């Protein structure tokens, strides 16, 4: 793994939704897309970037949907946490099959398959060039994996949260439904909250704002997008403080 002093970000937290792991499928894990994701992550890791990942579980189980169907919210949320572990293990397997050392840490202990989340150990793994995948959210119901991503980013002192989506940034309306929707190149944290843009939940945005961690929302389907972000190219939508949003 090479180190490049010109990198814009040297330690990142990549947030991947479960839906992203589903790829072209309506449910489950698209192994071809997971293979592509692994290659994209390895590219930035090979530049010398320390990479941590938080995965969602919506491709397998959505807690809030189950809550509406009669499963209690708390139980449904724990079931959703377990779904994120399945995704994390699959991602780990693909990365390690390509020769990249990877660790899965879970907020709910399951020592037979993953390490428990320990902040200092996670940071040490990153310093040694290992990719760390955080699973099981925060370990608590009522908190989204976006909030888990913001929390872990603050704990490991990540320099940015990179939120991977199916569109190339934040728009004033869903661009898949509204073709003329305007894309925002840069936003302040408060803009994200005040405009009601449903990209990340308010708890996650507030955590990033309080800890001055920029958020970059981008399309993971665009090849080399991660490399472009860490090397300083304007990709997707940048969310930060007012002065940072001006500079991008």
Q: Among 114, 196, 182, 126, which residue's Cα sits nearest to residue 158?
A: 126
Residue 15 assigned ligand-binding role: yes
Residue 212 assigned ligand-binding role: no
C-alpha 14/C-alpha 236 separation (Å) is: 14
Residue 141 assigned ligand-binding role: yes
C-alpha 91/C-alpha 85 separation (Å) is: 10
Residue 138 assigned ligand-binding role: yes
Q: Which residues of 208-238 are buried (b: 16+ CB within 10 A; e: fewer)?
A: bbeeebbbbbbebbeeebbbbbbbeeebbbb
Residue 129 assigned ligand-binding role: no
Residue 139 assigned ligand-binding role: yes
Residue 165 assigned ligand-binding role: yes
Residue 18 assigned ligand-binding role: yes
Residue 197 assigned ligand-binding role: no
Residue 58 assigned ligand-binding role: yes
Residue 10 assigned ligand-binding role: no
Residue 59 assigned ligand-binding role: no
Residue 174 assigned ligand-binding role: yes
Residue 57 assigned ligand-binding role: yes
Residue 152 assigned ligand-binding role: no
Residue 211 assigned ligand-binding role: no
Q: Among 164, 80, 93, which residue's Cα sits nearest to residue 133?
A: 93
Show binding-site residues for UMP.
57, 77, 138-145
Show binding-site residues.
15-18, 57-58, 62, 77, 138-145, 165, 171, 174
Show binding-site residues for ATP.
15-18, 58, 62, 165, 171, 174
């Amino acid at each position: 793994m090479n180190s490049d002093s010109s990198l814009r970000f040297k330690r990142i937290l990549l947030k991947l939704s479960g839906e992203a792991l589903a790829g072209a499928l309506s449910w489950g894990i698209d192994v071809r897309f997971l293979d592509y994701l692994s290659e994209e992550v390895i590219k930035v890791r090979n530049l010398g970037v320390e990479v941590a990942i938080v995965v969602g579980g919506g491709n397998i189980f959505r807690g809030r949907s189950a809550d509406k169907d009669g499963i209690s919210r708390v139980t449904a949320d724990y079931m959703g946490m377990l779904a994120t572990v399945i995704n994390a293990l699959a991602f780990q397997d693909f990365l390690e099959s390509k020769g990249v050392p990877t660790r899965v840490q879970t907020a709910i202990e399951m020592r037979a398959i993953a390490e428990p989340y320990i902040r200092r150990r996670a940071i040490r793994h990153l310093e040694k060039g290992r990719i760390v995948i955080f699973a099981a959210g925060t370990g608590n119901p009522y908190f989204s994996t976006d909030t888990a991503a913001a929390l872990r980013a603050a704990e490991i002192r990540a320099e940015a949260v990179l939120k991977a989506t199916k569109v190339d940034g934040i728009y004033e309306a869903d661009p898949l439904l509204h073709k003329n929707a305007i894309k925002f190149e840069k936003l302040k944290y408060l803009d994200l909250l005040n405009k009601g843009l449903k990209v990340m939940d308010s708890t996650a945005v507030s955590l990033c704002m309080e800890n001055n961690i920029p958020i970059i929302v981008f399309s993971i389907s665009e090849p080399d997008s991660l490399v472009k972000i860490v090397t300083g190219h304007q990709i997707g939508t940048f969310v930060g403080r007012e002065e940072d949003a001006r500079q991008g």
